[in-house]
Amino acid sequence: MNKGKPASRDEISSVAKMYVEGYNVSSIAQSIYRSPAFIKNIIERIGIPMKLADSDYEARKRALLPEQCVADTFHEGEVIWAIKVNYPAKVIKELDPEEAEDRGYKLYLCYTIECTDLSKTFFPHLPYAGKYTAQPAYELGSLRHLEQYGVKFI
Give the chain's domains with CATH numbers.
57-145 (2.30.30)
Cα 72 → chain centroid: 16
**Is residue 142 pLDDT above 60, yes or no?**
yes
How many angstroms separate the CA atoms of 17 and 9, rounded?
Answer: 12
- In this structure, how many other beta carbons lie within 10 angstroms of the beta carbon of residue 49? 23
**Is residue 105 pLDDT above 70, yes or no?**
yes
- If you average pLDDT over residues 103-114, what whole number do you get? 86
> Which helix or strand (DSSP H or E) is residue 95 part of?
strand 87-95
DSSP secondary structure letters along 8-67:
PHHHHHHHHHHHHTT--HHHHHHHHT--HHHHHHHHHHHTPPPP--TT-HHHHHH----G
Q: Is 129 helix (H, G, I), strand (E, B) or coil?
A: strand
How many angstroms separate the CA atoms of 25 and 14, rounded?
Answer: 12
Q: What pLDDT, on the 0 to 100 scale, is given for residue 154?
A: 59
pLDDT tens digits for 118-132?
455 555 555 556 778
Burial 108-137 (b: 16+ CB within 10 A, else e): bbbbbbebeeeeeeeeeeeebebeebebeb
pLDDT band, very low/low/confident/very high, at 82 (cuts 50, 70, 90): confident
How many angstroms separate the CA atoms of 6 and 9, rounded?
Answer: 10
Average pLDDT score over the chain: 81
How many angstroms separate the CA atoms of 108 and 140, rounded?
Answer: 9
Q: What pLDDT, on the 0 to 100 scale, is given for residue 131?
A: 79
